[in-house]
Amino acid sequence: MLNRLAAEIGERERLEIMFGHAPGFMALLEGRDHKILLANHAFAELVGDRDLIGKTFAEALPELAEQGLIDTLDSVALSNEAFVQHALAIRVARAHGALEEILVDIVFQPLPGAEQELIFVQGHNVTGDQRSETLRKAHNKVLELAVSDSPLEETLGELIRIVEATSSTGVLGSILLLDADGIHLRHGAAPSLPTAYNEAIDGAEIGPCVGSCGTAAYTGMPVFVADIENDPLWVDFKAVALPHGLRACWSTPILTAGGRVLGTFAMYHKEPREPTVRDLALVDLVTQTASLVIDREQAKAALRDIAEVAGLSAVYP
C-alpha cells in the first residue's frame, strides 16, 4: 500500500514538473465555477503573472470573463465536447491598466471520469507569428504603392495603418517630413490623428526642446516621452496635444543610409506609457520602410527639377 502511494506521489510530481515546464500554456479548471487548480509558467506569463491558483476563472481573469470565455467554458462543461479555436483574439489586462490584444491557438478539453467537472486548457500564444505575417504582406503592399507612383501621403498613410492595425495598444501613428530648409517639419501622413492637431503641428520648427518630433529631428536620435503632461520637452506644446487626448509620444528620426534626417515617425498613445520591445520592433520596420519611400520620392522630385531645367519635361512629366 505504501509503495503504491509513493509511486502515485512520484508520478504526480513528475507530471507537475512536465506541466510546469511545457512550452505551451496550460491550466486545469475544476467545478461549475471553473476554479483554477493548476496553471503553468507559460499561462502565468500570458495573463501577466497574477495570483491565479484557488480563484475562479472570473475572479482571476475578469477581463476574459467579460469577453465571453466563461460562456464558452460553461458550454464545454455542459456538452462535454472540446472547444478548439485558432488565432483567437483576446484582450488581456496589463500592469499599466490598458488591455493588450493577443492571438492564441486554444483548446478547452473536458476531462471525463472525475468527481468534479474538470476542463483542461491548453494552447500557444501565436501573436508574433500572425503579426509578422501581416506585417510582411503589408510591407510589400507599401513598396508596391511606392513603385506604382502613388501619392506620397497615400503610401505613408498605408504604412501607418499597418502599425495601427497590428498594434495591441491603440497606437496612433504620424509621419512628419523635414522641409527642404532643414528647419521645419511638414505633415506627411497621420490618418488617425485629429485634423486640428495635424494642422497645428504642420510647419513646426525643430529644436533641442520641441516636443518629441521636433527634438528627434533636431538631434537625429529617438525621443520617447511617456507622459506628455509632465515632460519638459512638451512644456510649450502640451496645450496642443492634451485637448486631443494625446498623453504619450515616442518619436524616431527617419534617416537615410548616410544618416541624413528625412523626417520623423511618431507613435502616440492616449495614456502615459513606456515603449515595449514589440513597439520598438515596429518602429524599426516603419522607419526603414519610410526611409526607402521618402528617399525615392525626393530622388524623383530632383530628377523632375533637372529635367525641367534641361527642357526635358516630356521625359519626366
pLDDT digits (tens, 9 = 90+) for 165-199: 877 778 999 999 999 899 999 999 999 999 999 99
Q: What is the predicted pLDDT for the residue at 136?
A: 65
Q: Classify residue 43: in a domain, yes or no.
A: yes
Q: Classify residue 96: in a domain, yes or no.
A: yes
The reply to whether 221 and 119 lie within a common domain is no
Q: Assess whether pLDDT exceeds 70 at residue 83.
A: yes
Domain boundary among 64, 94, 125: 125
Q: What is the predicted pLDDT for the residue at 303?
A: 62
Q: Which residue has the cell 503573472?
A: 49
In the chain, what percentage of residues exceed pLDDT 70?
80
Q: Classify residue 317: in a domain, yes or no.
A: no
**pLDDT bucket at 6, cuts 50 / 70 / 90:** very low
**224-239 pLDDT per residue, tens:** 999 999 999 999 999 9
Q: What is the predicted pLDDT for the residue at 86?
A: 80
The reply to whether 164 and 99 lie within a common domain is no
Domain boundary among 83, 100, 125: 125
The reply to whether 162 and 296 lie within a common domain is yes
**pLDDT bucket at 137, cuts 50 / 70 / 90:** low
Q: What is the predicted pLDDT for the residue at 314?
A: 44
pLDDT mean over 202-230: 95
Number of folded domains that form the chain: 2
Q: Assess whether pLDDT exceeds 50 at residue 305.
A: yes
Q: What is the predicted pLDDT for the residue at 129?
A: 59
Q: Classify residue 316: in a domain, yes or no.
A: no
The reply to whether 167 and 96 lie within a common domain is no
Domain boundary among 125, 140, 162: 125
The closest of 204, 247, 205, 254 to 225, measured between CA atoms, is 247
Q: What is the predicted pLDDT for the residue at 259?
A: 86
Q: Classify residue 23: in a domain, yes or no.
A: yes
**140-165 pLDDT per residue, tens:** 777 777 767 778 888 899 889 888 88
Structural domain boundaries enclosing 201:
129-309
The reply to whether 178 and 279 lie within a common domain is yes
Q: Assess whether pLDDT exceeds 50 at residue 242.
A: yes
**pLDDT bucket at 253, cuts 50 / 70 / 90:** very high
Q: Classify residue 184: in a domain, yes or no.
A: yes
